[in-house]
Amino acid sequence: MAFTPSYRRIWSVSYPLILAGISETVVEVTDAIFLARYGLTELAAIGLAGAIFAFATFLTLGLVDAIQIVIGRRVGEREPASVGRAFNQGLYLLALASLLMIGVILFVLPAFTREVLASVEVHLAVHDYLRIAAFGLLFNAINLAYSAFYVGISRTRVLIGATVVLAVTNILLDYLLIFGNFGLPEMGIAGAGVASLGAEIAAVLFITADVIRRRYTVSYGLLRFTRWDGAMARHLVGIGTPVSLDALVETARWFLFFLIIEQLGEQSLAIATIVYSCYAVFLIPVDAFSESVCSMVSNLIGQRRQGQLGLLIRRAMTLSLAGVVPVLLITGLAPEWVLSLFTPDEDLIEAALISLMVVMLATFIAVPAEAFNAAVAGTGDTWAALAIQVVISLTTLTVAAVAAFGLGLSLPWVWAAEVAGWLVCLIAAWTWFVSGAWRRLRI
């Protein structure tokens, strides 16, 4: 399906992704909300556990981006058979990557965190969650692959239903298993791990049913698993490797960021979990519109309509701001009320206020920064996207470490590292995109 960079088209592709983003964030946010009412240690641990889980997805994120880039290009070139070929071979690669990272979490990670975490209690809680949630990596990868397919063909409404299924399943299982309601066992943070796994499985079943019902198995050849296609696998790995490295750098940044905060104490880590939950909500529309930009940039290049890329980015930024500003205004006018949605602890709310204001500023800068960064990735210049991510991560972690350890500053100054990182991202991505260096590439 050919794209046109109109507001209507951008919105029609992006708003289901906003809802899908809500579903992904619901898992993190719901876990934090319930565990904030269970115990301080569990609240502190879930933020770090979430960062580790995200880190474990770096291989799948790269492959999914490669699938989306190839599908977007082939749709623009009107080659439906190649769409299914890319998707199916991508699933093989995703399964291998997921199984590898499940093994790392179960058998390698415990020894590492035992050495680097300051709190033994946090270490134990992190692994109570991950020993169950780790198996969700496989189903999460399948869900992301489906999302890449639907974005590529510009039919993303099914993601709304998947969002509802994932969110409702996670909330219900959290409520039942964390506290042991309705006669079920009280599992604490391990119950949150079961909820996360169950939600991912439910979403996979829902979207698979839609693929079969709409006969995408026929029109695009999805889920028609043939023998290993070495040429397609190498093509996806070639595109996805720098994206995986990009995701590795980004997710490692968050893990190390939370590790820095963990050294400041259990309470600081608990506060950071709450602030990050709010931040994740703020970034939902930013991430959704940037994902649309990535796919639509690839599609427009496939149609040889590169002259409309600037118009696409400007309109996507406008819509992204329209989604972000109302949320930031509500938060700015009633920050205590917003934080009270995540925790009933008044001391934690008071301590989180300034950090919340800092991430609000970071979100505002993220709108143009993420749009141009996604555009760079959408051109297929994934090595440039990786270089930008390395610079962002080095900036963010350096500022955070200097603030926490070098200067001994409070938590809001550590969060200010996000502001610095987004500023660097904006400058680097804009400079690279307008240089036109990506025009040399062929996908």
For residues 443 and 380, what is the distance between their CA atoms, to the nearest angstrom?
A: 7
Residue type, 183: G
Name residue, tokens 């490797």. Answer: 241
What sign does the CA torsion over 407, 412, 414, 416 have? negative
User: The pTM is what?
Assistant: 0.82
Highest mean pLDDT: which range of 8-12, 187-191, 212-216, 385-389: 187-191
Residue type, 84: G
Q: 3-state DSSP: the chain helix, strand, coil percent, rounded to 5?
A: 85, 0, 15
Domains in the chain: boundaries: 7-440
Closest of 241, 246, 268, 258 to residue 52, by C-alpha: 258
316: pLDDT strictly greater than 80: yes
**Alpha-carbon distance 176 to 191, whole Å?**
8
Place of tokens 């507001």: 7
Sign of CA pseudo-dihedral 385, 387, 392, 397 = positive
Predicted confidence at residue 200, as pLDDT, reads 94
For residue range 116-135, what is the model confidence (pLDDT) as tens digits?
888 899 999 999 999 999 99
Residue pair 244/58 in contact (Cβ under 8 Å)? The answer is yes
- Between 358 and 384, residue with greater pLDDT: 358
> Which position has the higher pLDDT, 25 or 269?
269
Using alpha carbons, list the distances in angstroms from residue 40 to 33, 130, 195, 348, 438. Answer: 12, 18, 20, 10, 48
pLDDT interval class at 23 (50, 70, 90): low
The first and second tokens of residue 269, run together, are 């880590």
- Give CA torsion, residues 92, 95, 100, 105, to 10 deg: 160
Q: Decide: 5 and 292 in contact? Cβ < 8 Å.
A: no
Going by pLDDT thresholds of 50, 70 and 90, the confidence category of residue 359 is very high
Q: pLDDT tens, 270-291?
A: 999 899 989 998 998 898 888 7
